[in-house]
Amino acid sequence: MKKIDPKTISIKRAVCPFCSFGCEFGVVFNDFGVCGVEYIKDGSSNGRLCPRGSAAGMYLDHPRRLAVPMRNGRPAVWSKMSKDLIKVVGSPKSVAVTFDRNVTPEEYAAIVGFCDSVGIQYTASTYFEPEHNLRPFLDKPFAPANLEEANIVLVLGDIFNQAPMSSRAIIEWKMKDKKNELIVIDSLNTHTAGFATRFLKVNVGTEPLLLLGLAQENSGNLDISKATGVDGATVNQISTMIKGNGKGLIFASLSFGHTYDPALCAESLYRLHKFSGMKVVPFVEFPGYNGNQGFSDIIDMVKKKKVKNLINFGELFPFYYPQLVDKLKGANIYATSTLKHSGYTMLPVPLGLEKEGTLVTTFGKKKLPGGIEPPSGAKSIEALLSMLSSGHGKGKTPQPAGRKLDINARAQRVAQLTETKKKSYKLVGEKVAYNFLGFLEGEALKINPLDAAELGIGAHDVASITSKQGSTDLPVKITEDVGQGVVAVAAETPSVRGLFEFTIDNELSAINFIPTEVKICRKE
Amino acid sequence: MQKRIVLDLDLCCGCRSCEAACKAEFKGESRIRHGDIAGVAYLPLACKHCKQPLCLASCPVEAITRDDNTGLVIRSAMVCIGCKSCAFACPFGVIDAPLVRHISQKCSLCADRKEGPRCVSACSSGALQWLSDEEIEQHEIGMRMVSKDLFFRRKP
């Protein structure tokens, strides 16, 4: 029998899969299992890690880690689960296959191949994080030399909190030359905005309109200054400054529930890129993939009872989008997951850290080394697919049709959405690395001091937040970072995400989570 | 050689990577905290390992000791009775009053790790550095401890 020695440690090298930076670090093991992470100086990030990387060790053996299949909150056995799934796949016309994050390009290819081989016609993306709209910009990887040449950097969103590993290079670039302009666009006063030469504070959710204004694209004759709250002279001045500037950079992130139209935001960024020649560097946590359908098509097919079973590969859906579950009531949902959630049929899969394959990063493709063992009950997606595909016929997955956006109509719609009703607040989402899955810190509601005083809410109080989608209670953080009439929350946990309204984007058949009207009161 | 954690105010972006690294190591309890500086910045606060520590002087059971060779001020988990005297005595407020497992939580500069504190290794912007007094004098950081550009950050 092996003697257990807690002092014996081994370090396995890993690539952090939790954002698009692909930092390297070591996972430290002793005889009892994972005991933390180690910072590797010769790694791509020089040993530095953001809070997500530091929490990676906690994730691997978290008490909520899903290690066995579960059905409605109860453990199940793989043999029975596989029988059920084979039976489901046996009627491929009533099955839709979807995918969100934690799926490598190799796994995506295997899923599409599986759908082709068994004749599943409907595939769609369930990666509803707004940043997925920025995926096309990942095609041209970013090199640090691009920043050295730049004299203007335009930042969309709070990238220092969302992707802290970006901060060092940008701050040093700004300090190197006082003429270097760091322009930040956001609706909240963030840490990133704190470092800006110019901070363009826009009205909640109207970032795409300002981007269109900067790109001098306003064929709909919209009053951009009124809609965004940024004065016209500033917009014109910056627009003139960036026009034809081929060396500038645009760092872009899109947080959950932060912007009214993320697809328009991506399109506006593309137009600004064409106008200015500035390269767009996207912060996309997971590239995600398209299917041959938009997700709203899948909802329609569930409604029409064409789709009776939905199999999701990834780790977010349906747990992180509870407001969609009502829309899918007619379907049985089978979802792969890495964490335990209540309800649903859950199939344990390895975490990104435990996989071999490719990671698409801001700097290009990176190899995931694997080598860390997943829980014994977890099945890799390839193993799951080979278990399901035995003994079925062949079909063909149709290709998605090309789509074009009507930007004028979309811009008008965003401008209309900026009005806030009396006695209600706009809830916006933030993506803060420190709130990673709620492992390090729970959510808190940021509220302006004047609003807090009006509502009788004090610093250590708990507030009750109610939207049309539901309600939840959160501790309050009183701060001037949010303006009056706005409340913000780091949307990392399902209960908070469940508050956000979604719109169905008819042009793209996609789902958008948008800033939401909420009512706030002090919880007694 | 005595080393200490030095913060470059200009580089800190308030991401709390340092706090996360500490929290991940010490089972959910971070020994480095963040202070909201008048709404202008959000900066990490760690134990200074003072030359004449008030926490040491206030400890009724001598659970806190100072190693003159390394400059480390260490709390012994075996001796600590959880009276919170150290938390109240600390002029910087870096020993948190809530107890964990009935003992106070105090930074040990990751004495178990030869590369130095984890918060410094993790720091995403490189604002936290692990330097000796000599290195601080030679390094630009010596000048930047009070921030090179006082108006670098904007007020909200």
Locate A479 and state its tokens.
């701060």
Torsion of CA A289, A290, A295, A296, to 10 degrees: 150
Residue B7 lies in a domain: no
| Helix/strand number for chain B, H first, E second | 6, 8
What pLDDT, on the 0 to 100 scale, is given for residue A202?
A: 95
Adjacent-strand bridge partners of B92? none
Residue A313: alpha-carbon gap to chain centroid: 16
- Dump the DSSP string for A88-157: HHTSGGGEEEEE-SS--HHHHHHHHHHHHHHT--EEEE----GGGGGGGGGGS---HHHHHH-SEEEEES
Residue B92 lies in a domain: yes
Element (H, E) at A317: none
Locate A92 and state its tokens.
């491929």
Residues near A372 by Cβ (< 8 Å), separated by ≥ 6? Answer: A12, A14, A27, A60, A353, A354
Residue B102 lies in a domain: yes
Whether the pLDDT of residue B155 is over 60: the answer is no
Locate A48 and state its tokens.
């530095």
Mark yes or no for CB contact A165/B124 under 8 Å.
yes
Mutation for testing the A interface, residue in B25, B37, B113, B121 having most A CBs under 10 Å: B121
Tell me, yes or no, if A53 comes closer than 8 A to chain B by beta carbon.
yes
Distance from C-alpha of A126 to C-alpha of A261, rounded to nearest angstrom: 17
Which residues in chain A have Cβ-Cβ distances shorter than 8 Å to B126? 48, 168
Locate A201 and state its tokens.
């504070």
Mutation for testing the B interface, residue in A38, A54, A251 having most B CBs under 10 Å: A54
* A433–chain B nearest CA distance, Å: 7
Q: Which residue has the higher pLDDT, A275 or B14?
A: A275
Mark yes or no for CB contact A50/B20 under 8 Å.
yes
Tell me, yes or no, if A167 comes closer than 8 A to chain B by beta carbon.
yes
Q: Which of B10, B13, B152 is the closest to A191 by Cβ?
A: B13
Mark yes or no for CB contact B19/A199 under 8 Å.
no
The answer to whether B130 and B117 have CB atoms below 8 angstroms apart is yes
What pLDDT, on the 0 to 100 scale, is given for residue A452?
A: 95
Q: Tokens 């899948």 identify what position? A: A298
Q: How confident is the model at residue A394 (pLDDT cuts 50, 70, 90)?
A: low
Whether the pLDDT of residue B120 is over 90: the answer is yes
Please give the mean pLDDT across all residues of chain B: 81
Mark yes or no for CB contact B25/A165 under 8 Å.
no
What pLDDT, on the 0 to 100 scale, is given for residue A19?
A: 87
Mutation for testing the A interface, residue in B9, B17, B129 having most A CBs under 10 Å: B17
Give the pLDDT mean for A254-275.
94
What pLDDT, on the 0 to 100 scale, is given for residue A438?
A: 87
The answer to whether B14 and B25 have CB atoms below 8 angstroms apart is no
Residues in chain A: 524
Q: Which domain holds residue B90?
A: 49-106
The total of structural domains in chain B comes to 1
Q: Which residue of A has its CA nearest to B36?
A: A479
Residue A66 sits at the vertex; the CA angle it makes with A56 and A48, to the nearest 5 degrees, is 5
pLDDT digits (tens, 9 = 90+) for A135-158: 888 888 888 888 989 999 999 999
Mark yes or no for CB contact B153/A195 under 8 Å.
yes
Q: Tokens 């299949």 identify what position? A: A69
Residue B57 lies in a domain: yes
* B105–chain A nearest CA distance, Å: 17
Distance from C-alpha of B6 to C-alpha of B139, rounded to nearest angstrom: 11
* A189–chain B nearest CA distance, Å: 6
| pTM assigned to the model | 0.90
Q: How confident is the model at residue A7 (pLDDT cuts 50, 70, 90)?
A: low
Mark yes or no for CB contact A49/B19 under 8 Å.
no
Residue B55 lies in a domain: yes
pLDDT digits (tens, 9 = 90+) for A285-325: 877 788 888 899 999 999 999 999 999 999 999 999 999 98
Identify the CATH number of the domain in which residue B73 sits.
3.30.70.20
Full set of structural domains in chain A with CATH? 10-60 (2.20.25.90), 70-126+293-389 (3.40.50.740), 131-282 (3.40.228.10), 420-522 (2.40.40.20)
Residue B120 lies in a domain: no
Query: What is the layout of strands, in order, in the sheet containing A152-156?
Result: A198-201, A181-186, A152-156, A249-252, A279-282
Give the pLDDT mean for A49-60.
92
What pLDDT, on the 0 to 100 scale, is given for residue B143?
A: 53
Residue B63 lies in a domain: yes
Give the pLDDT mean for B141-151.
51
Give the pLDDT mean for A40-52.
88
What pLDDT, on the 0 to 100 scale, is given for residue A445?
A: 95
* A191–chain B nearest CA distance, Å: 6
What pLDDT, on the 0 to 100 scale, is given for residue B1?
A: 55
Mark yes or no for CB contact B13/A48 under 8 Å.
no
Residue B53 lies in a domain: yes
pLDDT digits (tens, 9 = 90+) for B99-109: 766 777 788 89
What pLDDT, on the 0 to 100 scale, is given for residue B97?
A: 66
